[in-house]
Amino acid sequence: MLGGIKTKVNQILKGDCIEQMRSLPKGSVDAVFADPPYNLQLSGELLRPNNTLVDGVDDKWDKFESLASYDKFSREWLSAARDVLKENGSLWVIGSYHNIFRVGAILQELGFWILNDVVWRKTNPMPNFRGRRFTNAHETLIWCSKGQNAKYTFNYEAMKALNEDIQMRSDWLLPICNGSERIKKDGRKAHPTQKPEALLHRVILSSTLVGETILDPFFGSGTTGAVARKLGRNFIGIERDEEYIEIAKKRLQDIPKVKDVNLFTTPSKKTEPRVPFGSLVERGLLEPGTILVDQRKRHAAKVRADGSIISAEHRGSIHRVGALVQDAPACNGWQFWHLDVGGKLTPIDTLRQRLRAELH
């Protein structure tokens, strides 16, 4: 089954996205990112207060005869995307208030299971020049799996590390695509809805693994492919506009191949080698008799040769004694107990991480 897709990996397929997805083997891609037409329903020109024309989206591909025709289109491409997606793959779709609610309802009708809606808050949104509505300062991404019980990928540790070791939230504050990143042709935007690479960085890093393939059925200027290549992933792009295809090809050919894929993988703590506290004693990282204290120095315990610790009243594992001295139901001893290193208290977990590094 996968043999038929190998020749299409890291390629841009020209044509209608529904037809092209139907031509791919079922269950052959690991993820889908889609930036479909928003059906903005714009009428007339939009002018700034100084009478200059706003360079907005007025392309034919964003125009539909009715909401019913847009719904039909959405159902067809989402159905095709569902077929080509692996059982444990996931799909992202981005939109605005014009379309995202309709797309979300269709996703659920087709059996997708919504995992998150992510709000992309723009640091520099376009103002509402007419002053008759709030400034549209965000877009919405829906992230979903093929079903409620699918074992989708979520690189939690990578997202936490990206956010300075704080669990990443579902509101992402990022600038729109501008400056040197914005591709231009003859002084104008080469593509009206080019997404910033930072946005795709989070999408791809969070929900795919190195070497996996992400499909973008509305490839446009190639942002999905560019970020996929930079993160050691593969891509398949589908685009029907020859001009956009040429722009994307030129963009992609300038991106070098990733040399060290280890730089793009954040190991899960669940897959890291187990290091018992006693191993620190065996390896000489902690000597029997070493005094451990909590961060506020309210409690103290001595390290024993067998890897247990003993306080004034309790003896046992670092977790058990940590819980008992606090009169708590449980305790993460690795974070609770600290070692005095040159007058500075350091969690004993730093010693565990050092030993894990040696074991790899």
pLDDT tens-digit map of 281-336: 999 999 999 999 999 999 999 999 999 999 999 999 999 999 999 999 999 999 99
φ/ψ of 303, rounded to 5, equals -80, 135
Confidence of residue 257 (pLDDT cuts 50, 70, 90): confident
User: 168 or 65, which is more confident?
Assistant: 168
- Residue 289 CB partners (closer than 8 Å, separation 6+): 302, 303
Question: How far, in whole angstroms, is CA 90 from its chain's centroid?
Answer: 11
How far, in Å, CA of 79 to CA of 110, rounded?
Answer: 7
Q: Which of 64-73, 260-269, 273-282 has the lowest mean pLDDT?
A: 260-269
Asked if residue 326 lies in contact with residue 332, where contact means CB atoms within 8 angstroms, the answer is no
CB 174 within 8 A of CB 122: yes
Distance between CA atoms of residues 179 and 182, nearest Å: 6
Distance between alpha carbon 311 and the CA centroid of its chain, in Å?
44
Do 82 and 112 touch, CB atoms closer than 8 A? yes
Evaluate the CA torsion angle 51, 57, 59, 63 in order and state its sign.
negative
Name the residue among 63, 152, 55, 155 with its Cα closest to residue 113. Answer: 152
Neighbouring CB atoms inside 10 A of 297's CB total 10
Average pLDDT score, the chain: 89
Tokens at residue 19, please? 């037809």
Residue 33 DSSP code: E
How long a stretch of residues is the chain?
A: 360
The dihedral built from the CA positions of residue 295, 297, 298 and 299, taken in this order, carries a sign that is: positive
pLDDT tens digit string along 7-63?
Answer: 899 999 999 999 999 999 999 999 999 999 988 754 444 444 444 444 544 556 457
At 62 the pLDDT is: 56
- What is the arithmetic mean of pLDDT over 117-132? 86
